[in-house]
Amino acid sequence: MKYTILSLLLFVQVSHLMGQNNNTFVIQGKVTDSFGEPAIYAHVIIDALKTGAYTDEEGNYLLKKVPQGTHQLSVKMLGYKTQERSVQVENTSLFSINFTIIEDLTNLEEIVVNTKTVKSKLESTAKAIGVIETKKIRLQSADLGEVMAKSEGVSVQRSGGLGSNTRFALNGLSGEKVRFFYDGIPLEFTLYSFGIANVPVNAIHRIEVYKGVVPIGFGADALGGAVNMVPQKVHNGWFGGMSYQLGSFNTHRTTADIGYSSDKTGFFVKAGGFYDHTDNNYKIDVAIPNDKGGLQQETVRRFHDAYSAYGSSLRFGVRNKKWANELSLESYYGDYNNEVQNSQSPQLIDQPDLGISNAVAGIPFGEVLFTNYSLGTNLTYDVNLHDHWTLNLKAGYNYNERKSLDIGNQLYNWFGEVIRAQNIPGEFGDADNLITKSENLYARQQTTYIINDRYSLKLSLAPTYTYRTGDDLLIDGPFDEALDDSYLFNFVTGLEYTANLMEEKLQNIAFVKNYRQNIRNESLDPSLEVININKRSVSNYGVGNGLRYNWSSHFSTKISYEYAYRLPQQNEIFGDGYQVFENLELQPESSHNVNLQWNYHNNYNAVTQWQLQGNLFLRKIDNLIFLVVDPAEGFGSYQNVSSANSQGLELSGKIKDVVKGLSFNANTTYQSYLNTSSEGPFASFKNDRIPNTPYFFANGGAEYQLQNVLKKNDQFSLFWNVRYVHSFFIGWESAGSSQYKSEVPKQTLNTTGITHKVDIKNTRNALTFEVQNLMNAKIFDLYGLQRPGRTFHLKFTTQF
């Protein structure tokens, strides 16, 4: 900790000395577009002085050594109208001038082919980032999990239909090893704390995927990377939109938001919400006993798998003022209900000689229910301080209450019929009526010191505090393990140095992080009737560096490295009060993360545009946190049991306007995620692939656009997407004979649809008809958990 304090003192002292020059006048500010997005590489100019500066990836600019007097500032960016503003420079060393630039619609077709997208601008930095744009995706019916599964390096495994458990993996690393954020706020402190698959696509403007190397601004202890979902931005006047989707299995999804902002007063307010429901009563193939005591295959409908969720939020504040780029407060509430049809580890039987082909086996549930609700508030404050300083602060509080209910005493078959009553209640095992409550606090403070237009320093402070307790309503008296009081405090500190050299051809980002964790657990000893207190602390350091070089206007390369730590989370340390026991001695896992990326594209003003990208990656993990389960009892705990290596290759390409309106894209990923343990419970499986993880998958897509079909300026888009996942073993590949190994079969998923877009007065409207799983393939993301077959969806969206 003393080194962290010394680093902070050095940071403040150096920046103070470098900022001391009372004869220097500085103009700084931020340039955004009409949707509130940063305008990257916009040119801010004072023509009379023949001086100017380009905005960075956050839209910030800095003009130094501006003499006293009245000056005319102008902002120029290809595809946007030039904005001008006069400023009187006197009396103070700092002037903050923000600009909002508006698209130049008089020459829109030329603008589209000549302007770099936000995606390409962000990916041209030294950060290990991939960007998913959602402008077109928002019109389609795919949820966020399905959207992200179309990207290279990303695997999203689902245990069923909408609302089912989702396992997100980035370069093989899954679970808590990857952190999720919504507008820079940890996802668990937002309206969408129930997971990424529950985030409405229409609420997202773009998705930023950071692979292995995570910027300090997130204050994250991620091991595999981070995902930041950037929401739709506030802009001047009235704005808003809504979407409604109707689909198979009584599926309904609705999102809506409305807001108002005044550039004159700076005040803004925005309200939004969502509602999801599905019966999830799709057909699956099951293996059930026949009259002769053997097994036979039957096609049945799932009968206890409904899901519903809803939530709302209200945000208000001021923006674009001298004393605050943004000062806002947001409150939210979300509720989630999920019926549980079966356990997360059923069997899968494939015996063609008996007429059984990949059929689910096991006992279904008829009454198990999971519910969850979450509420909280977030504060955001973003300001340009005097001279070269900027401050961005996010802080918030969240209360979360989760309940699992399993008190049924009936035994069901796959036809939804009661077979018999059980003597002991509980379908999972022991009866359960458990409530888990947690209170959470967080803060993310990032202070930036802009040394000049080439160098900057950033300091990030990110504390998080969690208090958790619970109550098993089936247990009377004080000796209830769920009543334990658990405290968890994480503090991630980061210091980052950025340099732009050789006329922006070379960019280097170097950083150091400190990870600190304090754990405390208080439990009542039933034998001694005293309070047992267990506590411990850990502190670790990590470093990283990103380097990007533009070899030409068409070709660039990046290499990035981070020695990262991932602090164990509350469920891993304290257990879940049900099937996972506590392990207060669980240690952080660490990893050496390396990416070597390259990007090649033709001219942005070419009639046919194309781009090729690649990434070689390596993750060398020590102290891997793994859930070790007793197969006989079904209970377990998280342990530091092994080491592992994940290495592989990602390739992607796209081509736009092969002929006018026709575009293609494709990507593929091969990853070798291997157990490298020489000791411990998995040493005998050294050099085996980590089980239940895809190692080869690919995506492809095509789109054809037709303009002015039914009326002027309307558009029809026909699209098709395909995903292939190669077969993979559910267990260790060296264990047992090959003919008896459990395996998730290879599978191909096709989706197609048509979208009609039309502008009516000041609204943008779209209607999409879509068919998912067009070939009605039997899909298993996870072993023994069949996903829906062919489904039909109709979606309407409007925006103003």
Which tens digit of pLDDT belongs to each residue from 231-245? 888 888 899 999 999
* 141 band by pLDDT with thresholds 50, 70 and 90: confident
Instruction: Please report, rounded to a whole number, the percentage of residues in the chain having pLDDT higher than 90.
Output: 48
Considering only CA atoms, which of 607, 602, 568, 605 is closest in space to residue 584?
568
For 47, phi then psi, to 5°, come to -60, -40
Statement: residue 349 has pLDDT above 90: no
Query: Which pLDDT score, from 0 to 100, does residue 453 have?
Result: 78
**Which position has the token pair 């559910």?**
730
Statement: residue 5 has pLDDT above 70: no
Mean local confidence (pLDDT), 6-13: 44
428-432, 479-483, 757-761: least confidently modelled range: 479-483
Interval 690-726: pLDDT, tens: 888 899 999 999 999 998 888 888 899 999 999 999 9
H or E segment to which residue 176 belongs: none
Q: Residue 585 burial (CB < 10 Å; 0-12/13-18/19+)? A: exposed
- Residue 159, token pair as written in the block: 């245990």
Interval 618-672: pLDDT, tens: 999 999 888 777 655 556 788 887 899 999 999 999 999 899 899 999 999 999 9
- Residue 575, token pair as written in the block: 């257990």
Considering only CA atoms, which of 243, 240, 241 is closest in space to residue 259?
240
Q: How far apart are CA 541 and CA 678, in angstroms?
A: 25
Task: Give yes or no for a contact between 522 and 533, defined as CB atoms under 8 angstroms apart.
Answer: yes
Q: Which residues contact 203 (CB under 8 A, 6 or more apart)?
A: 192, 231, 232, 255, 257, 272, 274
* 16 band by pLDDT with thresholds 50, 70 and 90: very low
Look over the chain and give the mean of its residue pLDDT values, rounded to a whole number.
Answer: 86
* 110 band by pLDDT with thresholds 50, 70 and 90: very low
Considering only CA atoms, which of 233, 227, 226 is closest in space to residue 203?
233
Mean local confidence (pLDDT), 24-31: 79
Query: Which pLDDT score, from 0 to 100, does residue 604 have?
Result: 65
* 563 band by pLDDT with thresholds 50, 70 and 90: very high
Q: How far apart are CA 29 and CA 383, in angstroms?
A: 9
Using a cut of 0.75, tell me whether the model's pTM lies above it. yes
Bigger pLDDT: 14 vs 315: 315
Domains in the chain (CATH in brackets) are 2-105 (2.60.40.1120), 116-799 (2.40.170.20)
Considering only CA atoms, which of 611, 642, 609, 608 is closest in space to residue 625?
642
Q: Residue 264 burial (CB < 10 Å; 0-12/13-18/19+)? A: exposed
H or E segment to which residue 765 belongs: strand 763-772
Query: Which pLDDT score, from 0 to 100, does residue 633 have?
Result: 57
